[in-house]
Amino acid sequence: MGEMVSLWPLMGIAVIVAGFLLRFNPVLVVIAAGIVTGLAAHMPLLTILEKLGEGFLNTRNLPFILLVPLAVIGLLERHGLKERAQAWIAKIHSATAGRLLVVYLFVREATAALGLTSLGGHPQMVRPLLAPMAEGAAEKIHGELPGAVRYRLRAMSAATDNVGLFFGEDIFVAFGAVIFMHNFMLESGGIQTEPLHIALWGIPTALCAFLIHGARMWRLDNYLQREVAKAHAAAARGDA
C-alpha cells in the first residue's frame, strides 16, 4: 500500500480563496497562503521565509516588464490611437461589430495555436484597438450607443480575446498544459502519449469554440440594433 499523502498543505488554497473573497491585499493574501502551506507541510519557518524571498527575487523585474507596455499604450492613446482605429474601421462599409469580432476570434485562435500568444491581450489589444474599433463599427450603423450597449460591446470584445487565446493555445505542442498532461499520464498512469497527439486533440475543441462563440458574435449585430432602437424609442417618449 502506498504512503498516505497529506492534504493539509492544500489549506493554502482556502486562504487564497477567503482572502480574495474578503478583498484583502493580494500580496498579503499570497504571503499568508505560502506561510500556511509551509507550516502545514511541516517546513521550518526560516525555510518558508527563504522560499518567499527567493520567489520575490526571481520576479523582481516583473512589474517593470508589465509597466513598460502600459506606458507605451497610454502614450499612443493620448495621441489619438482610439480615434484613428475608429476612423479606419468606419471606412470599411461592410464592417459590423459582429463581423469584426468574428475575424479577430479567428486570428487570435490561429496565432495562439502557433504559440504567438503575446500578439493579443486585454491591455495591448482589446482596450486600445479592438473595443474602440467595435464601437466605431457599431456607431457607423446605429449612431450614438447607449451606455449599457457600449459596455456590453466592450465585454464581448474582451470575451472574444479570452476564448481565442484559451482554446487556441491548447493546440500549441509546447504549451505548458500539453506538457503537463503528457507528464501526468506518463508518471501516474504509465500511459505513453506524444505531446503532438495531445495538441492535435485540442483542434476539435477549438473548432467548436470558434463556431459557438462565432455564432454569438453573429447575433451581436441583431442585439445592437434591437437595443439601440429601444433606447431611441424611450428617448422619443421622454421628449414627448
What is the value of pTM for the model shown? 0.68
H or E element at residue 24 = none
- The percent of residues above 90 in pLDDT, for the chain, comes to 24
Tell me, what's the pLDDT at 41? 86
Ranking 42-56, 121-135, 146-160, 187-201 by mean pLDDT, the lowest is: 187-201
Are 47 and 106 within one domain? Answer: no
Are 49 and 156 within one domain? Answer: no
Give the domain range for residue 167: 81-239
| Structure-model confidence comparison of residues 213 and 232, the more confident one | 213
Ranking 40-44, 65-69, 137-141, 233-237 by mean pLDDT, the lowest is: 65-69
Is 224 a member of any domain? yes
Is 115 a member of any domain? yes
Are 223 and 171 within one domain? Answer: yes
Is 67 a member of any domain? no
Q: Does residue 178 contact residue 199 with C-beta atoms inside 8 Å?
A: yes
pLDDT, average across residues 63-86: 68
Are 96 and 198 within one domain? Answer: yes
Counted domains in the chain: 2
Are 155 and 191 within one domain? Answer: yes
Are 185 and 104 within one domain? Answer: yes
Residues 166, 167, 169, 174, Cα dihedral to 10°: 120
Are 15 and 128 within one domain? Answer: no
Are 32 and 133 within one domain? Answer: no
| Structure-model confidence comparison of residues 234 and 138, the more confident one | 138
Top-ranked range on mean pLDDT: pick from 1-10, 24-33, 168-177: 24-33
pLDDT in tens, 195-211: 788 888 889 999 999 99
Are 36 and 113 within one domain? Answer: no
Are 50 and 166 within one domain? Answer: no
Closest to 136 (Cα-Cα) out of 198, 68, 73, 90: 90
Kindly write down the DSSP assignment for every residue of 146-178, as one continuous string.
PHHHHHHHHHHHHHHHHHHHHHHGGG-TT-HHH
Residues 6 or more apart in contact with residue 167 via CB below 8 angstroms? 109, 112, 202, 205, 206, 209, 210
Is 49 a member of any domain? yes
Q: Does residue 69 contact residue 56 with C-beta atoms inside 8 Å?
A: no
Is 14 a member of any domain? yes
The CA distance from 136 to 210, in Å, is: 24
Q: Is the pLDDT of residue 186 over 50?
A: yes
Residues 6 or more apart in contact with residue 72 via CB below 8 angstroms? none
* CA 160, 26, 15, 176 torsion-angle sign: positive
Are 126 and 37 within one domain? Answer: no
Top-ranked range on mean pLDDT: pick from 65-69, 117-121, 181-185: 117-121
Are 23 and 105 within one domain? Answer: no
* Residue 210, CA distances (Å) to 46, 72, 189, 214 in order: 50, 31, 32, 6
Q: Is the pLDDT of residue 63 over 80?
A: no
Mean pLDDT of the chain: 83
Tell me, what's the pLDDT at 188? 67
Tell me, what's the pLDDT at 239? 61
Tell me, what's the pLDDT at 67? 61
Tell me, what's the pLDDT at 191? 75
Is 2 a member of any domain? no
- b/e burial code for range 13-36 (CB count within 10 A of at least 16 → b): eebbeebeeeeeeeeebbbbbbbb
Is 156 a member of any domain? yes
Is 205 a member of any domain? yes
